[in-house]
């Protein structure tokens, strides 16, 4: 359930972030959201531990974590931004579903996570629902080219990030998520300012930081806990429901229209999640260990 809660928080942050885009450029907003995650989780961790406490990661785990942060927090966002300048928004939205597919493929083929027909079929239904939501039903043409390759490269970075993070998911989830937030936030904010973006009013900055703490920070903590419990492939599949959750919130809270495609995607995702939740044999390729740090 942690993965679904992570998807719910991240999905709910999407319409809220969309509202903030009236006052903030996309890259700067991404930076502020991640900074809200890093700052908020650092405060939470300091309060929880009553001061600074070393994360207790082993040398090998630091390698996994730094590789995950570098790919997911630095290389991935840069590739995405470059790709967005060379392809349509509709094409990019559709291509972003590759993250779940690549996450599962790497988990199953490289890290040998357990998978059976039920899980694969459920995963396929969830991704199909996400693809339906991303398709340009309004008639906008899909465009694939060099930009598509860059977006696909970003998805590969995030898929590797998910699998690498799974290798350290037995460690302190708050520290892992906080570190990712700080690095991704600093990189994205620096890139935005370098591109000429201007900082918005303090109230807008505060709102972005708050949305980032919940939609990116707490969501990522739950994501790491889900990696610990069910592995990369299943967590990635559950997290693919985030677009549906965001769309549902937009319909309920902002009165947006619910198309037949939305309801079809809801059915596909619902059945896919049900197939996963009712599976009784979930195995991870992550060895359990007793960490010296408290769990999130």
Which of 130-134, 196-200, 233-237 is modeled with the greatest confidence?
Answer: 196-200
For the cut 50, the answer to whether the pLDDT of residue 293 exceeds it is: no
What is the arithmetic mean of pLDDT over 268-287? 65
Residue 231's pLDDT is 83
Q: How far apart are CA 287 and CA 64, in angstroms?
A: 14
Provide the domain limits for residue 67.
Answer: 2-277
Picking from 86, 104, 114, 94, the residue whose alpha carbon sits closest to that of residue 158 is 104
For the cut 80, the answer to whether the pLDDT of residue 191 exceeds it is: yes
For the cut 90, the answer to whether the pLDDT of residue 182 exceeds it is: yes
Task: Give the model's confidence band at 288: pLDDT under 50 very low, under 70 low, under 90 confident, else very high.
Answer: very low
Residue 52's pLDDT is 87
Which pTM was predicted? Answer: 0.75
Residue 221's pLDDT is 93
Q: Convert the pLDDT of each residue in 198-220 to its tens digit.
A: 999 999 999 999 999 998 899 98
What average pLDDT does the structure give for the chain?
80
Query: Does residue 220 lie in a domain region?
Result: yes
Q: Convert the pLDDT of each residue in 18-70 to its tens digit.
A: 788 888 888 898 899 999 999 999 999 999 998 888 888 888 899 999 999 88
Task: Give the model's confidence band at 243: pLDDT under 50 very low, under 70 low, under 90 confident, else very high.
Answer: low
Query: Does residue 11 lie in a domain region?
Result: yes
The angle subtended at Cα 280 by Cα 275 and Cα 282, nearest 5°, is: 90
What is the arithmetic mean of pLDDT over 227-232? 84
Q: How far apart are CA 272 and CA 128, in angstroms?
A: 10
Positive/negative CA dihedral, 135, 8, 176, 115: negative
For the cut 90, the answer to whether the pLDDT of residue 15 exceeds it is: no
Residue 141's pLDDT is 53
Number of domains in the chain: 1
What is the arithmetic mean of pLDDT over 216-235? 87
Q: How far apart are CA 120 and CA 233, in angstroms?
A: 9
Q: Mean pLDDT lowest for which of 39-48, 72-81, 225-234, 242-251?
A: 242-251
Q: Convert the pLDDT of each residue in 71-81 to its tens digit.
A: 988 888 778 76
Q: How far apart are CA 19 and CA 147, in angstroms?
A: 26
């Amino acid at each position: 359930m942690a993965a679904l809660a992570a998807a719910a928080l991240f999905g709910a942050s999407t319409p809220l972030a969309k509202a903030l885009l009236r006052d903030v450029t996309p890259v700067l907003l991404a930076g502020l959201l991640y900074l809200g995650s890093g700052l908020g989780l650092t405060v939470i961790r300091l309060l929880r531990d009553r001061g600074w406490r070393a994360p207790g990661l082993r040398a090998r785990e630091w390698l996994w974590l730094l590789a995950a942060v570098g790919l997911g927090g630095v290389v991935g966002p840069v590739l995405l931004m470059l790709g967005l300048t060379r392809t349509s928004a509709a094409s990019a939205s559709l291509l972003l579903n590759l993250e779940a597919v690549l996450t599962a493929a790497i988990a199953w083929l490289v890290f040998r996570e357990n998978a059976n027909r039920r899980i694969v079929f459920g995963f396929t239904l969830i991704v199909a629902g996400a693809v339906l939501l991303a398709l340009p039903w309004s008639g906008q043409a899909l465009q694939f080219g060099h930009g598509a390759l860059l977006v696909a490269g970003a998805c590969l970075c995030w898929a590797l990030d998910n699998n690498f993070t799974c290798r350290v998911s037995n460690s302190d989830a708050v520290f892992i998520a906080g570190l990712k937030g700080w690095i991704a936030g600093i990189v994205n904010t620096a890139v935005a300012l370098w591109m000429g973006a201007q900082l918005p009013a303090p109230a807008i900055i505060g709102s972005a930081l708050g949305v980032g703490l919940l939609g990116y920070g707490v969501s990522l903590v739950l994501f790491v806990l889900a990696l610990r419990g069910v592995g990369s492939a299943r967590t990635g599949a559950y997290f693919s429901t985030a677009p549906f959750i965001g769309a549902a919130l937009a319909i309920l809270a902002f009165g947006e229209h619910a198309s037949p495609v939305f309801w079809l995607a809801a059915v596909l995702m619902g059945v896919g999640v049900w197939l996963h939740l009712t599976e009784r044999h979930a195995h991870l390729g992550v060895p359990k260990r007793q960490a010296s740090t408290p769990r999130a």
